[in-house]
Every structure is written in C-alpha cells, then in structure tokens.
Structure 1
C-alpha cells in the first residue's frame, strides 16, 4: 500500500480518472464531481506526469483511452466495485438489507416496478432499491449495478443472465377510447383513429405492426408523437389514442383494465429481455432476494394474464 501511495499524486486522482474514463469527457466528469473542467484536466495531467504515461489521447470527436489508460481503468473499476460491495455488506450486517441497484428502462420502472413497489417493500423492508434509468432501448454494458434488464443480451463468460420475458407487442388503448372509436379493423382505413407514436428511430414502428398483419397503412390516421415511451403509454391510458404496447411494460395496465387490446394480433418477435448481472460483482444476499422477487413477479403476472 505504501508503494501505491507513492505511485499517485493523490488518492483523489483515481476518482477523477475513473469519472473521466467512464464518460470519455473531462466536462461530464467535472459535472459529476462538482469541480471545474480545468481542475479535471490538471489532475489528469498530474497523474500522467506521475506515471510517466499518457492515459488519454485527443481525437476529432473527443478523447479516448490509450492502452495504458484502459489497463488502469479496468483495475480501478474492479477495485471500486469491491470497495462498494464491502461497504454494502457492512451496512447489510448492521442495518438489515442494504442497497440493490437496478439498471432498466424508464418505462419499465414507471409501469412495472412502481405498481409493485409497496408489495416489495412490505416483503423486504430492509432492502432499498436504487434505479439507474435508461432512456429508449435497454441495451448497453452492465456496470456499477447489481442487475440490469437488457434486450437480447448476448451470453458470455463475464455475465450471468436469467430470461425475464419474451418480446411481445400489441396495440392498446383505454376502454373509453375503444368504446368511442372501435378497434383496428381489417379492410378499413385508419381515419377514425389516433395513433400514438414514439419519435426517433424505433425498432417496431406502427408501419411495421400494421404491415405484419395486413392492416391499412397509417397514412389516414391522426397522430400524437412523444419522445418518451412512458408518455406514449400515458396518452393511451388517458384515452388520447392507440399505442403500441410492449407487453412487459403494459402488462400491469392490461391486468387492471386501464388498457385493453385494440386488435387481437400480438407481434411476437422471437427476441427476449433478460435480467443480467456482471460476474465481476458477486451477488450479495439482498441482491439474490431482489432477483428472485423479480422473476417470481413476472411468472405470476404471466399466469394471471393467461387466466384472464
């Protein structure tokens, strides 16, 4: 440890380096650490001078890690994760359950987790949940969290994964909208309907769903467009139109009859969502309880929907 202290200009250098390497941005690292961008630059320069090695290189689009920088980043993140786990284990021993962190889409958190949160807290009062929200598709690396919900996560030796649900997409609307406007019907244009869209590049837009089941194209319909999927679902719940509902997001509203199918066809893509954990972060007892609860809740919901 004495050798490590001599190898660093200060202990704070590791925190500054980790943030800069994670974001690949001195500006974003500065914002997270609540310091100026120039302070981050100076600390990185001190660290590089101390190590006599370049950790970052500037490119046309920003900064990248050098080979030395990547080696140090992997070592630092692994060490920080072990420290974090040790702290959580100490807290769990002395205070009940501890904190479990989940990375998931904002829509899944809002429409699936939140309706069940009271039940979870009653069952596990000693466990606190922390959410790391992903806007859009739940893809990307699994870092600094106990679990992540990811779309089509590839199997590899660095992660453990559990199938959570198959991807199913169906058009949904409120019961009041269905009573006023009727369902989607084959052979009729969509002029009497309002379709709620998610802006940007969407894997399954309305045009794909309609073409898949030989409905008329959406050219005659009115539209509402939002940049956040939670708002798309909320618009359907409030009777503003028909939205494409990913089953794992809207299942609670379907079970509660806040939403109903606007057509009988369900698009099953063959893709899946998984609960994923990094093998670099061993599962603690509170995390195992959260995993088992998530899997059990999803199975119970699937059984409920089949029974209905």
Structure 2
C-alpha cells in the first residue's frame, strides 16, 4: 500500500488498487510511520507529497519489487516459458533485419519462441525486463553483458527507380526528396552532409515520418533518399532493394551492441539466441565488406 500511495501520490488511488477505502490506506500508512518512527508523507489540504525518508523508502521498495519480479520471471521460465526469449529491438531492425530471418531462425530453433519488445526510433532505454536487447553504444559494464554487433555506419540509400528519376546525391540535381524522422534525430541530414563531405542538395524537399522503419520504407518504394544505418539496411543493399545514393558514408565511432542485464539470469536458451544473432550479423558484415 505504501508503494501504491507513493507511486500515485494519492491515498484514494492506492485504495482503489486494493479495493479498500482512502481512510483504510491512511490508517495503514500511519501505522507504518509509527513502526518506522519517521514521517513518510507530508499531508496538506491539496494532497500528499513524499518526505525525504519517504522518497528513500519508495526507491528501496521499488528495487525490492523489481528483484522479486525477476525471481518470479525466472520461476515462470523454468515452469512454462523455458523456451521463450524476449528481445527489445527497434521497429526498423525488426522489420528489415529480423523478420526476413524468421524462417531461418525457426528452422534452426523450432522449439524457441521469440517475443519482441519494439522501440520506436533509436534503440535506447532500459532493458532490465527482457532477456536480450539491441542498444546504441552500450559497452560492457558491471551492470550488463555486451556483445558488439556493428559499427555505426550511415550511408545515403534509395531505390534504383529513384536514381533514374532524380539522380544520386553526388549529382546534386534539383528536386531531391529527403526522408527523415520527426523529432530530434541524433544524426539528421545536415549533420550527415557536413561530416561525410557530401554536397548539400539544391532545392530539396522533406518527407517526415514518426518512425525510422517508415523512413526506410519510403526509400524502398522510390519516394525519397534516406539515411541508412547499415546494421538495419544491410540486407536491403545486398538484395538490391536499396542501393547507395552516392559514394558517401559517416562512421561515428559508436556501435550497436547486443546487451543483457546481469541482474537477470542469462539462460541457456538466451545464449543460443545471442550466439545466433551475433553470427548472423558477422555474416552480413562480411558480405557487405565493412
């Protein structure tokens, strides 16, 4: 009840979670404060706020609950989900790298079920609640395992039909359409052009999408030039659904890595999936000669 009250900053909402009244929660919290000999909430006419001691306890209780959840997840995996692996990846990586390999994966591991947790845009954020994750620039640390997948290499990509109509970026023809993602991209077009020595196109127009997977799709359909991260679009280049839209590239020195939280046991089945992803990515790197 304390955790719920601290999370909502409301005794009423905490009570609703437990199907009890606001006054019942208030009495329970008061009993806890007496037991701990400290005040956990400041009560005012407009609501409640956590005291310093309350904030510390809320943080500790949250960590404890997460540890319990990890233990329960491990218990469930042993009982019923031993062959299920959850992977957190970007929607673009799922669509353009993983989905084309699903048949190959299922043929090699017919008993393993994959569950995908998709991230829109850049693969950032926590990954404590999944078995594996692809994340941007996550070297090994005391908190995580990490296996390097691919250097961050960005190239302009488009379809052959687009080149026939507009030319490549090297030709600086008027009327280029540049696909981009909405929001603050970490490497937007101006940064790429400046750092790759590519010429700035004259009279360009933009197509803006909410997700990077759609940016790549626009390039595949011949609607625009896009910035292609090779770990995502490598197969499209190898299969010539996309071609390079000019002899330019940007190597940032960063990488994309397969990671796993050390707080979550790395099961044998997860190691099998990890090894398969690393091997598949190594094969793609060799075929791209990068």
The answer to whether the superposition gives a TM-score over 0.5 is yes
Using the size of structure 2 for normalisation, the TM-score is: 0.84
Structure 2 distance, partners of 1:275, 1:184, is 32
Computing the radius of gyration from Cα coordinates, the structure with the larger value is 2
Structure 2 residue runs without a partner (length 5+): none
- The aligned counterpart of 1:253 is 236
Residue of structure 1 in register with 2:220 after alignment: 237
Corresponding residue to 2:55 among 58, 62, 66: 66
Which of 183, 199, 202 does residue 182 from structure 2 map onto? 199
Paired with 1:298 and 1:26, the residues of 2 have a C-alpha distance of 46
Q: How do 1:39-50 and structure 2 match up within 5 A?
A: 39-40=16-17, 45=25, 48-49=29-30
Q: Distance in 2 between matches of 1:185 and 1:55?
A: 64
- State the 1:37 CA deviation: 7.9
TM-score normalised by the chain length of structure 1: 0.79
The CA deviation string for residues 196-241 of structure 1, in whole angstroms up to 9 with x for no partner, is 1111101111111112233343561122111111110000000001
Structure-2 change in CA distance of 1:178 and 1:89 (3 Å): same
Is there any run of 5+ residues in structure 1 with no aligned partner, and where? 1-12, 28-35
Pick one of 272, 295, 308 that aligns with 2:278. 295
State the partner residue of 2:115. Answer: 130
Change (3 A) 1:237 1:85: same
Aligned-residue CA RMSD in angstroms? 3.0
Q: Please list the CA deviations of residues 114-171 of structure 1 after superposition, one character each: whole Å capped at 9, or x if unmatched.
A: 1111111111111111111112221122211101111112542111111111101000
1:217 to 182, 200, 218: 200
In the TM superposition, what whole-angstrom CA distance separates every residue of 1:84-120 from its partner, at most 9, and x where no partner exists?
A: 112112225xxxx521111111111111111111111
Cα distance between partner residues in 2 of 1:154 and 1:63: 38
Partner of 1:110: 95
Q: Does the 8 A contact of 1:159 with 1:277 survive in 2?
A: yes
